[in-house]
Amino acid sequence: MIELLNIDCMEYMKTCEDNAFDLAIVDPPYGIKADKGTGSSNLAKSKKYSSEWDSSVPSIEYFNELFRISINQIIWGVNYYPYDLSGGRIVWDKDNTGNFSDCELAFSSFGYGVRKYKFKWNGMIQGDMKNKEKRIHPTQKPVALYRWLLDNYAKPNDRILDTHAGSFSSAVACKEKGFSGVFCELDKDYFKDGKARVDKASRQYELAEVIKETPENIELFNQHDVGCKAVE
């Protein structure tokens, strides 16, 4: 079950038991004012709302709770945080040109090695132009990146957590890959747009499954439960 929550992630995490999730894949604020239109988000249009969510990095309490309720973690933006996050590293090579970051860096709790994934994400140009993603969030990451993370770091039946879902690319990938999880987003507008994105992807994915498995039942698809639960 994919559960989408319009909630402050700190409030949610306090309700969770220790090791409630097998893997947390999170992209917290970097404190670079991306909500003001700074950074590479200027290269591709995305909806911008009035809320301020990137004025500072999360507190140490956030990371303490995250490590308490998850067994393993992948944390994007590790180079921006003034905390000891010793461990492995994941490099996303965005194949960029210009003055913006060539890569993004994540902490990995899976040993001390460094692994790299390359997927072009340069303004309007994306690595998979045939399935080009609509930008709905300034710091949106591609679904392909999350698919790769799940393929390489998650085990079957793992329960996934994303505390800052944003565009909900992580939820789309989990739905496609068959993982259950919880995805939190505080901003009501981004939550609404992100939920619509997950719902659309779920319908497309499950419609493809219906066509593949039982073409004669295609008319039943509109009544099919896409398996997503949203709480506002």
CATH code for the domain in which residue 131 is found: 3.40.50.150
Q: Residues 163, 186: contact at Cβ < 8 Å?
A: no
- For the chain, what is the domain count? 1
For residue 214, the number of C-alpha atoms closer than 13 Å in the C-beta half-sphere is: 7
- Per residue of the chain (232 residues), give pLDDT as tens: 999 999 999 999 999 999 999 999 999 998 876 655 654 444 455 555 546 665 689 999 999 999 999 999 999 999 999 999 999 999 999 998 766 789 999 999 999 999 999 999 988 889 999 999 988 998 899 999 999 999 999 999 999 999 999 999 999 999 999 999 999 999 999 999 999 999 998 887 665 555 555 555 444 434 344 455 666 6
- Domain holding 68, by residue range, is 2-231
**Global pTM?**
0.83
